[in-house]
Amino acid sequence: MGSEAVHDFNGKTVLITGAASGIGLGISRAFAQRGASVVATDINAEGLERQRGDYGQDALVQEMDAGSEDSILRVAALLKARSMNVDVLVNNAGLARLEALDALTEAAMDLQWKVLLRGPMLCVKYLSPLMVSQANASVINIASIAATIQARRHAVYCACKAGITKFTQDAVKEMPALRFNTIQPGFIDTPILEAYATGSELEAVKNDFASRTPVGRMGRVEDIADACLFLASDSATFINGATLKVDGGVTVANSLEFL
């Protein structure tokens, strides 16, 4: 069987958070191109509108704050009212805030953990009732290699990414009707990097990321989308509770060396 046939999502509904930009947009496009009905959600309504053509003809494009219980509940109620089930939930929405430990603010901490950790948990809570009746339904949580590597001024972000990786594992035992897997992307070229630098400085950051990655380039959103397609597909029905690094080898290549 060719990969096109394996990755056929006709008749499946895939809900993606943070679908207006970067990795979430890439994941949305990939599923839409393979026949899925995409539920594209993001806090950025304008961004969603701009990308509407990428989500496929029968997409549902819906503003949703993935860090807000009310907002998630509203979307769950909307899907239920339309008798829609969900086959794949991709918890992808995210943001980065750089803060040194001695300059941490409660506001920045809350912003990050609401979106990166609490939000995915609430999405599982409120969307799983729409998933459990579906064959091979699964949740994919987009964490980060930040869950395991050292990253200065990233302590809150890193803790959230480690937390969501662990939550994914715990959910496996508690909700056996669904599969749960984590993807930990490496350095992926998306607008999130503008939190670190702009202009020529940003180019230097990207060059540095590429040079430290053994495959010799930064990741593309398609690299993460391909991993999602596989984990959601009928080729992955025995993959449950896994953490998949999609990082071009950067994590292992930069770990402690003995010799």
Residues with catalytic roles: 157
| Cβ nearer to ligand NAI, comparing 6 with 210 | 210
Question: Is residue 113 within 8 Å of residue 164, measured between CB atoms?
Answer: no
CB-based burial label for 33 (10 Å; 0-12, 13-18, 19+) = middle
Task: Give the nearest distance from C-beta 11 to ligand NAI in angstroms.
Answer: 26
Q: Which is nearer to ligand NAI, 8 or 113 (CB)?
A: 113
- Which CB atom, from 20 or from 122, has the smaller least distance to ligand NAI? 20
Provide the token pair at 129: 């009732």
Q: Any idea what DSSP says for residue 69?
A: H
Tokens 């200065």 appear where?
Answer: 152
The SS3 assignment for 144 reads coil
- Which is nearer to ligand NAI, 8 or 189 (by Cβ)? 189
Name the token pair of 190.
Answer: 């998306």
Q: Whole-number minimum distance, CB 172 to ligand NAI, in Å?
A: 20
Q: In angstroms, what is the minimal distance from the CB of 135 to ligand NAI?
A: 27
Q: Which residues bind ligand NAI (CB under 6 A)?
A: 17-18, 20-24, 42-44, 47, 65-67, 92-95, 115, 142, 144, 185, 187-188, 190-192
In whole angstroms, give the CA distance from residue 231 to residue 219: 18
Closest C-alpha among 162, 42, 54 to residue 90? 42
Minimum CB–partner distance for residue 61 and ligand NAI (Å): 13
Kindly give, in sequence order, each residue whose CB lies less than 8 Å from that of residue 144, ignoring residues fewer than 6 positions away.
Answer: 157, 158, 161, 184, 185
Q: What six digits make up the tokens of 220?
A: 């593309």
